Structure 1
Amino acid sequence: MDSLHLNHEDDIHGIAGKVIRPGHQGYDSARAVWNAMIDRRPGVIVQCQNTEDVISAVNHARAKDLPISIRGGGHNVAGHAVCDDGVMIDLSGMRGVTVDPETRIASVEGGALWRDVDVASQAHGLATPGGLISDTGVAGLTLSGGIGWLRAKHGLSIDNLVAANVVTADGSLVRASAEENSDLLWALKGGGGNFGVVTQFEFALHPIGPEVMFAAPVYAVDDGPAPIRAWRDLMKKHGDLVGSLCEFSTAGGEDFPQEMWGKKVYTLACVYNGDAADGETLLQPLRELDNMVVDFSGRMTYCDLQQIFDTLMPAGEFRCYWKARYLSDLSDEMIDLAMNNALTAPSDASISSLWNFGGATTNVAADATAFGDRSMGWMYSLDSVWSDPKDDASNIAWSRDGWDAAAPFGHKGRAYLNFPGHGEDGDALTRASFGENFARLVEIKTKYDPQNRFCFNQNIRPQS
């Protein structure tokens, strides 16, 4: 450790990693996250290498009465990983994954990315539900639910979380499981980063692959909604077998016919949660509808599937603002709304999507996890992605206006808290999203973080 990390009156001693402050070499790169809009300046960044480093950082924050932000993968669109003036605990040096193929459990460090989990588990023919982009952090995605391709058969990421090691606000390392601190495990299943720093997750694994069936026929928005309606009807019938979304985007590049470049299209992206051959047969009708532009369907390895969308949004290259709303149903009117919104996106890099739910995702009682009610059938997300700061207002407005317009089709005012915009909706959205579980979450927050040290998140305030 060089002299910049020592001899400071407020420094944190005995750290295996690095302690970085404003003015130190590497400070700006250490505070940068996936969304290029985030420009906050922590008072100190602790790049942890182990659980002892995390404990030291939490104890320092408590001693100095400073708030804490937690960086796992740094992928949250609101930039919750980075705080102004407080202590930023950076777990990106803690990415270890260990798989026990006999018990089918993966032990995952708090800074791991989903690609780390996928590679380690697929070495044994196993997987657990993760996200759709492989450089997403395990921690952030999981703690607010975790919606991935395997949700039809195996549910959300939280439905596979069986235990966690957590450093709480008093600097204690506690284990949360069905047998120990079960209230904390319940809260971690959807309650976000409100309760401490998770240094290790334990996930249940399932036999997957090595080959899976990915269907991705592409149709032009100008040709109308008929393929989306056919997809909707198929998903209603087979929501226990297929994880899917209808994604609106702008065609471009050599993979598309040149006459389509710059035009709006939608992809009926589906992953069959079972044998690839069976999936190819079941999903074939979606590839035979009129006026298909191009077909990206095919069998592939699970790891390749998990990385297929990675190039859409490289880390740190774009400014981003995302919103998502759960839907009670997917009516023709909601489909029309989504199509019209896609046509008005001010940036060709932006996407929007209709997501299906069913099967294992919805077969969970509302009070079984902090995540809450599972009776939503669908979700609508609007992901503004652009480059020029001069375009901030128009792109943010597009996501917010579309999100507001979808409110009449919404499910109990609830939203997916991994796509929170920039967090400006605050307490009202958080309360609505947790519904009847909110009061219990407040009690657990008060127990484990009574001073609200962990407040850079969709915050649940402790009782006064």
Structure 2
Amino acid sequence: MAPETKAYASASDVLQEEWEKLSRQLCGRVLTEKDKAYDEARLQWNLDLLKRPSHIIRCESVSDVQLAVKFCRKHSLEPTVAGGRHSPYCFKDDTVAIDLEGLHGVHVDTDKRIAHVQGGARLKHLDSECAIHGLHVVAGHNSTTGVAGLTLGGGVGYLSPFWGLTVDSFPSAQLVTAEGEIVEVSDDLHPELMWALRGSGWNYGIVTRFDFALRPVTTVFAGVAQWPLSYETSSMITELVRVVYDEFTDLALTVAFANPDGQQPIAICQPCALDPEKGQQDWESAKARVALPPPLMEQVGPRPYRELQAMMEPMQPPSHIYEKGWLIRDFTTQVADEVVDALAERPFPGCVMALAPFGKAANGVSDEATAFFNRKSRFWLLILGFFPEGADNRQKAMDWSRKAHGAFAEYSTGRYISVLGGIEEDKMDSIYGANLQRLQEVKRQWDPHNFFHHNRNVKP
């Protein structure tokens, strides 16, 4: 079935009495520009993405989500879905935002080792509740990230090298469909839809509950060590990354790259291991194998996992950002030298790059097993062009990010759905690959008129 081509109505065309009726039915509320809470409600982590939706429907129950979907359908209104607010698709000018921020509850079933997480929760909500029980979910690098966007995009995090992507620990969910109906989804109930939810975004409905397998994690070995990054040292840094990835199954390494003073780029290495004592030993062995010089600074050791999850947030505050990225097969000396070149030209001190490992657990899953494609990629290379507010500054950050992105293209194995920055429609197969046709079949079944289209859209 072809998608509808009708134009969306303006929210201002809906009678005020209809909005008032909706407000009376909600547990939450409807916000417009006239409300004091409106500006705070539309804030996003990336301040460059700020939009002005005509209405924000703040949901506080699953029935609120149903009401919001049915209201938008009844009045032909264009919806967006707002969760953790890291996505460029949370809000859009002159549309209706279905806001899940009021749905952030987390329930931990310690007997089954399952976490039931509402669709508006952020990692800080998830981590704080799970930590009480000495358990955690494989999820992300930043506690402000939304659980929904992270999971539906695949989910790469500090624990991925040990247990795979977030979607690999995602057995079931509850979904509000484009018709406003509640559906339970799992490998037994609507298995094709469950397959699609594991890596292709908000294309099929609004997930109001995620169920996650929990892993025993309390104190980990983690921290930060910094080395100068130059053409002379890049081979040692790349060898350290390779050695950890290939030869130390109980140790993982995430690396950020920055040039804060404009003179000397640095590699900020973040080792992580589940066993603090063995992690320390493996880290020292890995460094010795590469014969690295003494670091500029090093603070590593046992620490709570929650502390690791928030460690890099000072480098990634809410700000104006132009972001790009690739999935890459290997972090070679050539790639590292491109990082050195890019950082030498960075327009602002806050511009950074990051290299996040997938790990062998994620690599061991086939591309067809979940909607997330490019499983043979070993790293996610992220380019973050932080810039001060202003059109000229934005242009500088955009030019820098795009140039760096272009320089890494030849090393790419594809794109990651959760990376911001424009992706043309004719390049969507770089995200979904050979899974795209199967995803379109799922879309035709669950959202044939493309009601949920403000996303990395799979067209019916």
Q: TM-score, normalised by structure 1?
A: 0.91
Residue 167 of structure 2 corresponds to 158
Q: Deviations over 1:327-378 (max 9, x none)?
A: 1222221121122212221111121022333221111111110002311122
State the distance in 2 between where 1:240 and 1:151 align. Answer: 12
Residue 452 of structure 1 corresponds to 450
Residue 80 of structure 2 corresponds to 69
Would the aligned equivalents of 2:173 and 2:207 in 1 still touch at CA under 8 Å?
yes
Query: Is 1:330 the equivalent of 2:331?
Result: yes
State the distance in 2 between where 1:33 and 1:196 align. Answer: 22
Query: Is 1:214 the equivalent of 2:216?
Result: no
| Aligned residue identity for 2:341 | N
Would the aligned equivalents of 2:259 and 2:344 in 1 still touch at CA under 8 Å?
no
Would the aligned equivalents of 2:260 and 2:350 in 1 still touch at CA under 8 Å?
no
Q: Given the alignment, which residue of 31, 39, 43 partners 2:54?
A: 43
Would the aligned equivalents of 1:106 and 1:202 in 2 still touch at CA under 8 Å?
yes
* Greater mean alpha carbon deviation, residues 334-343 or residues 126-135: 334-343
Give the Å deviation of 1:217.
1.4
Distance 1:112 1:450, change over 3 A: same
State the distance in 1 between where 2:248 and 2:367 align. Answer: 19
Residue 275 of structure 2 corresponds to 275
Give the Å deviation of 1:291.
4.2
Three-state SS of the structure 2 residue aligned to 1:417 is: coil
Three-state SS of the structure 1 residue aligned to 2:227 is: strand
Query: Is 1:311 the equivalent of 2:314?
Result: yes
Give the Å deviation of 1:205.
0.4
Would the aligned equivalents of 2:157 and 2:356 in 1 still touch at CA under 8 Å?
no
Would the aligned equivalents of 1:230 and 1:286 in 2 still touch at CA under 8 Å?
no
Q: Given the alignment, which residue of 18, 36, 58 partners 2:29?
A: 18
Residue 180 of structure 2 corresponds to 171
Would the aligned equivalents of 1:66 and 1:453 in 2 still touch at CA under 8 Å?
no
State the distance in 1 between where 2:309 and 2:345 align. Answer: 29
Distance 1:431 1:233, change over 3 A: closer
Query: Is 1:248 the equivalent of 2:250?
Result: no
Would the aligned equivalents of 2:241 and 2:253 in 1 still touch at CA under 8 Å?
no
The number of equivalent residue pairs is: 439
Q: Any unmatched runs of 5+ in structure 2?
A: 1-14
Give the Å deviation of 1:103.
0.5
Residue 380 of structure 2 corresponds to 379
State the distance in 2 between where 1:366 and 1:215 align. Answer: 32
Three-state SS of the structure 2 residue aligned to 1:108 is: strand
State the distance in 2 between where 1:363 and 1:25 align. Answer: 50
Q: TM-score, normalised by structure 2?
A: 0.91
Q: Deviations over 1:299-328 (max 9, x none)?
A: 10111111112222233xx10121111112
Instruction: Say what the alpha-carbon RMSD is for the aligned residues.
Output: 1.8
- Identity fraction in percent: 30
State the distance in 1 between where 2:116 and 2:263 align. Answer: 44
Structure 1 residue runs of 4 or more that deviate by more than 3 Å after TM superposition: 6-11, 285-288
State the distance in 2 between where 1:215 and 1:30 align. Answer: 34
Q: Any unmatched runs of 5+ in structure 1?
A: 1-5, 253-260
Q: Deviations over 1:59-89 (max 9, x none)?
A: 011011122111111112xx21002222201
Query: Is 1:84 the equivalent of 2:93?
Result: yes
State the distance in 2 between where 1:328 and 1:226 align. Answer: 17
Query: Is 1:399 the equivalent of 2:401?
Result: yes
Give the Å deviation of 1:7.
5.7
Query: Is 1:410 the equivalent of 2:412?
Result: yes
Three-state SS of the structure 2 residue aligned to 1:418 is: coil
Three-state SS of the structure 2 residue aligned to 1:141 is: helix
